[in-house]
Amino acid sequence: MSSAQLQVVTCTIKRPMNSHGALMLAAVSGCRTFHVVEYDSPRIQATLARRNRGTTVRVCLQRVESRGEAWRVTGLEPTASHSKPNQSLSPSKGPIDAAGSGSSRLPLLR
């Protein structure tokens, strides 16, 4: 993984994941669109693959430097539409990270 800066963004799924594993996210602020083509873990990819168009997700994104405007999801955080404010998408301790487990690497929403 490169040293590109991570961004935590609340998005809606604009186009659900296709057969190649790509999906399109739109920032809820309306100012950005993210073409996601990579995931730090199969668990992150599987979680996003189950989400439908219009679903709100909070993701940690990193630009894929060799792919222009392509992005990698490095973690997921809870959103108000899917969980209680202090509850993680991970059934364990925290946000789903690249290892597929809870982690304190990303802060929980408070």
Domains and CATH numbers, the chain: 6-77 (2.40.50.140)
Q: Which of the four pLDDT bands, split at 50, 70 and 90, describes residue 66?
A: confident
pLDDT in tens, 82-108: 433 333 333 333 455 544 444 434 333
Q: Please identify which residue in the block is written with the tokens 């222009």.
A: 68
37 touches 72 (CB < 8 A): yes
Task: With CA atoms as reference, report the closest residue to 37 among 47, 25, 28, 26.
Answer: 25
Closest CA to 76 of 87, 85, 88: 88
More confident residue, 28 or 99: 28
**Spatial separation of the C-alpha atoms in residues 19 and 77, rounded to whole Å:** 24
Instruction: Render pLDDT for 45-64 as a digit per residue (tens, 0 to 9).
Output: 999 999 999 999 999 999 99
pTM of the predicted structure, to 2 decimals: 0.70
Contact 104, 96 (CB under 8 A): no
